[in-house]
Amino acid sequence: MARKYHVAIVGATGAVGVELLRVMERRDFPVADLRLLASPRSAGRRLEFRGQEFLVEVLGNSSFVGIELAFFSAGSGTAR
């Protein structure tokens, strides 16, 4: 079976982040687990991925524990 990855998206609620989610669905990207990260403004929001709802978490120091692959679409300052 193909390897799957623990993936994070920083800026998941934004225009680019939402499109990235849709592309990952369309391309059947090998996601084992998904962590959706954004600012405190989005705390409690939910986004759908492959028919499943994921709670959006606030970006913080422990956001990348266990993450193998992270995509950043929250602006260059936040990415740095």
Ligand X SMILES: NC(=O)c1ccc[n+]([C@@H]2O[C@H](COP(=O)([O-])OP(=O)(O)OC[C@H]3O[C@@H](n4cnc5c(N)ncnc54)[C@H](OP(=O)(O)O)[C@@H]3O)[C@@H](O)[C@H]2O)c1
Q: Does 78 bind ligand X (CB under 6 A)?
A: yes
Q: Does 42 bind ligand X (CB under 6 A)?
A: yes
Tell me how far, at minimum, the Cβ of 17 lies from ligand X, in Å.
5
* Cβ atoms of 70 and 7 closer than 8 Å: yes
Segment near ligand X (CB under 6 A); pick from 8-16, 25-33, 47-55, 63-71? 8-16
Q: Does 36 bind ligand X (CB under 6 A)?
A: no
Q: Which residues are within 8 A (CB) of 22 and not within 5 positions of it... i.e. 6 or more apart? A: none
* Cβ atoms of 25 and 4 closer than 8 Å: no
Beta bridge partners of 6: 33
Q: Does 17 bind ligand X (CB under 6 A)?
A: yes
